[in-house]
């Protein structure tokens, strides 16, 4: 069983135990006392209004049904109240029948009205049990979510410190090593530490996004944003880079988080193309959304994998280059959704994959 798991199931309730506690305090006591007074008043009316006994009889059971909808008692008190009301009203109706005040067919009301109340009680308790089960499931999901977020945050901090220390010592050792093979081994170790550092940063980013805190937002003109990202990436991996974006594309987002999200999409495109590959980063504008589209001419995404590419720690094996952390695309989606947008993946008709990050459009005021 994983460290992130549901809490242990609670002990099953006994049939006579309530699935919901009685409404506590003065309000609950007032409801019970008011119902008692009302029942006694209806019984008195049935006793003294001999020719109109059926009217308070029906009103009594109607009020009992209404009150039970607001205050669900445990099974035993419910049975006791219903039995007492049925017995007392039944005896009064039978007495009226013996004196010729009501007809015989009206005695069918004695079992009929309690049966209707019992049916209502059954449905009310089933509904409440379903709501309790749903609430319990939500509590477990919330607890699991909190454990996962805490795990990401703690793991990120735990990884960062030893990685930083190890990298510092390796960089010092690299300067003193003269053997070519040994220097190559140090380079490999440094690259692996870089990957661990990226993993740590992305775990921390996911923990921050999962906390529900909305990143601070500002108006961003995507034309300058896309151009700056393009220049940064064009100075690194050798690809055929294409950047374009309309001037009226403006969104409301945090520049650092949006940059992290788009960098993850571009990094994915780099992993699945070689030096002769083409990567396009384009901005698109509609009436409602502004979209950053990152497409490549790589092998594309298998149809059965399209629904999984944004899952955490899920990998596609790139034809060239190292495996990623499995968190970049998850961060891109979490960032987009925190800003009111989303990310989707698709395949180009001409080949390759395309990722579209869409955010709500802002009016292009002065920035």
Domain layout of the chain by residue ranges: 1-213, 218-360
Question: From residue 24, how far is each of 17, 31, 121, 350 by CA, in Å?
Answer: 16, 11, 20, 67
CB atoms within 10 A of CB 277: 19
Q: Quick one: CA dihedral 247, 249, 253, 257, positive or negative?
A: negative
d(CA 320, CA 299): 11
338 by Cβ neighbours in 10 Å (0-12 / 13-18 / 19+) ranks as buried
Pick from 6-15, 163-172, 348-357: least confident:
6-15
pLDDT at 319: 67
Q: Residue 12 carries which DSSP code?
A: P
Residue-wise pLDDT tens digits, 330-364: 888 888 888 888 999 999 888 889 999 999 988 65
Q: Which two tokens stand for residue 136?
A: 């319990």
- CB of 180 closer than 8 Å to CB of 309: no
- CATH code linked to domain 218-360: 3.30.565.10
Whole-angstrom distance, CA of residue 145 vs CA of residue 124: 31
Strand partners for 278 = 240
- Where are the alpha helices (H) located in 235-303, listed in sequence order? 255-271
SS3 59: helix
Q: Which residues, in sequence order, are bridge partners of residue 344?
A: 356
pLDDT score of 345: 92
Regarding pTM above 0.75, the answer is no
Whether 327 and 312 have beta carbons less than 8 Å apart is answered as yes
Q: Are 249 and 221 in contact (CB under 8 A)?
A: yes
Mean pLDDT of the chain: 78
Judged by average pLDDT, the poorest of 28-32, 43-47, 87-91, 191-195 is 191-195
Residue 100: the pLDDT is 81
User: Looking at residue 201, what is its pLDDT?
Assistant: 66
Quick one: CA dihedral 95, 100, 102, 104, positive or negative? positive
| Local structure of residue 106 (DSSP, 8 states) | G
């Amino acid at each position: 069983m994983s460290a992130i798991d549901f809490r242990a199931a609670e002990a099953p309730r006994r049939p006579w135990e309530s699935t919901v506690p009685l409404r506590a305090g003065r309000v609950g006591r007032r409801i019970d006392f008011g119902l008692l007074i009302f029942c006694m008043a209806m019984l008195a009316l049935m006793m003294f209004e001999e020719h109109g006994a059926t009217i308070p009889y029906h009103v009594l059971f109607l009020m009992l049904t209404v009150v039970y909808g607001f205050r669900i008692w445990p099974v035993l008190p419910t049975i006791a109240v219903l039995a007492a009301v049925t017995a007392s009203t039944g005896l009064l109706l039978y007495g009226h029948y013996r004196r010729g005040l009501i007809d015989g067919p009206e005695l069918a009301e004695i079992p009929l009205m309690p049966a209707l109340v019992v049916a209502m009680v059954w449905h009310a308790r089933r509904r409440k049990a379903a709501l309790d089960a749903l609430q319990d499931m939500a509590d477990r999901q919330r607890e699991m979510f909190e454990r996962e977020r805490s795990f990401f945050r703690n793991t990120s901090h735990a990884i960062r410190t030893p990685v930083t220390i190890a990298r510092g010592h390796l960089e010092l050792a690299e300067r003193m090593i003269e053997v070519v093979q040994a220097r190559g081994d140090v380079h490999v170790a440094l690259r692996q530490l870089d990957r661990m550092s990226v993993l740590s940063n992305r775990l921390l980013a996911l923990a921050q996004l999962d906390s529900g805190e909305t990143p601070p937002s500002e108006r961003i003109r995507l034309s300058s944003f896309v151009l700056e990202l393009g220049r940064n990436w064009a100075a690194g991996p050798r690809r055929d880079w294409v950047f374009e974006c309309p001037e009226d594309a403006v969104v409301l987002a945090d520049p650092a988080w949006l940059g992290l999200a788009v960098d993850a999409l571009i990094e994915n495109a780099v992993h699945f193309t070689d030096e002769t590959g083409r990567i396009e980063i384009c901005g698109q504008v509609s009436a409602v959304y502004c979209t950053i589209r990152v497409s490549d001419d790589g092998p594309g995404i298998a149809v059965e994998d399209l629904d999984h590419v944004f899952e955490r720690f899920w990998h596609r094996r790139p034809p060239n280059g190292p495996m990623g952390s499995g968190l970049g695309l998850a961060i891109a989606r979490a960032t987009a959704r925190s800003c009111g947008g989303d990310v989707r993946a698709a395949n180009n008709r001409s080949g390759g994959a395309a990722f579209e990050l869409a955010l709500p459009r802002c009016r292009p005021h002065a920035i």
